[in-house]
């Protein structure tokens, strides 16, 4: 344990309010850099162990500083695992990590002719004092078939250092304004833990993204669209979570001739790297 403590010199910092916090990336690398080599490591238990070690080192640190980091750590684990799964299984879909809404407009992944339709829709709803997109999904499932991507997109990740984290965080930028309607296969929302409010957020995102897809399909006169998938994952999923995520996609019940669709197509338990591979069999399939 002495070696672990000795490696933590660079993980602590103070925020603008003077409170002790952690550097998310440095902390992740200190504890989880080699998680891909431990496919059965329990993620939720590991997070708790990390919390206890850091709080022992800095007792004045607030627990919220740690819980706020869990979401990013969880996303980086899933992103890296999906990266290797795609390469190992020659899959055409990339699971691309997305920034939050304040940093990135997810509609700009589409080619300009499609994103302009969303811009037009956004202006119309804003005229009624309504917000079109409240939050971004955590991941987009993007086709790599029609793009010439840099060589590093085909190199496996052995360990997750800060350079790899930067690569995972920025991979989506190679798809901006490049996607036709069906190049975006779907989206994935992940939460290190689920609460009722998070279930509502996931279902809302799924319903909205599917409605936007149908709007684009209609505006672009696409007669037989492939459809859009929306998935969710967490370290633990209860029967209440599964039931709550069966919410109907609102657009699918506005027309009597359409078949009702789920806002969230499936929900997966991902609490280790091996779990993620099972989920990717569905998420990254055609």
Show which residues are catalytic.
Answer: 75, 138, 191, 205
CB atoms < 10 A from the CB of 120, how many? 11
Summarize the chain as % helix, strand, coil (round to 5): 50, 15, 35
Tokens (6 digits) for 176: 């901006």
The residue assigned the tokens 């998938």 is 229
Measure the CA angle with vertex 204, ends 84 and 24; round to 5°: 45
Long-range contacts for 242-248 (Cβ within 8 Å, ≥24 apart)?
242/267, 244/196, 244/199, 244/200, 244/203, 245/199, 245/202, 245/203, 247/203, 247/206, 247/207, 248/207
């Amino acid at each position: 344990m002495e070696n672990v403590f000795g490696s933590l010199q660079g993980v602590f910092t103070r925020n603008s309010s003077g409170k002790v916090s952690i550097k998310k990336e440095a902390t992740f690398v200190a504890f989880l850099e080699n998680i891909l080599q431990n496919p059965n490591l329990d993620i939720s238990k590991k997070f708790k162990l990390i919390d206890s070690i850091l709080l022992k080192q800095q007792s004045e640190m607030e627990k919220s500083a740690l819980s706020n980091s869990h979401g990013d750590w969880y996303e980086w684990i899933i992103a890296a695992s999906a990266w290797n799964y795609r390469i190992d299984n020659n899959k055409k879909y990339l699971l691309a990590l997305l920034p939050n809404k304040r940093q990135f407009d997810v509609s700009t992944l589409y080619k300009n002719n499609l994103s302009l339709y969303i811009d037009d829709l956004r202006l119309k709803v804003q005229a009624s004092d309504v917000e079109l997109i409240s939050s971004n999904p955590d991941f987009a499932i993007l086709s790599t078939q029609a793009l010439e991507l840099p060589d590093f997109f085909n190199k496996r990740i052995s360990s997750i250092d800060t350079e790899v984290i930067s690569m995972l965080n920025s991979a989506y930028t190679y798809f901006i304004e490049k996607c036709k309607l069906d190049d975006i296969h779907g989206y994935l929302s992940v939460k290190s833990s689920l609460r009722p409010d998070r279930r509502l957020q996931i279902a809302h995102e799924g319903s909205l993204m599917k409605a936007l897809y149908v709007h684009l399909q209609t505006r672009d006169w696409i007669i037989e669209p492939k459809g859009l998938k929306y998935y969710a994952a967490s370290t633990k999923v209860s029967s209440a979570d599964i039931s709550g995520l069966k919410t109907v996609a609102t657009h699918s019940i506005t027309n009597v001739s359409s078949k009702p669709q789920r806002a969230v197509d499936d929900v997966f338990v991902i609490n280790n790297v091996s779990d993620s591979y099972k989920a990717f069999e569905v998420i990254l399939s055609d």
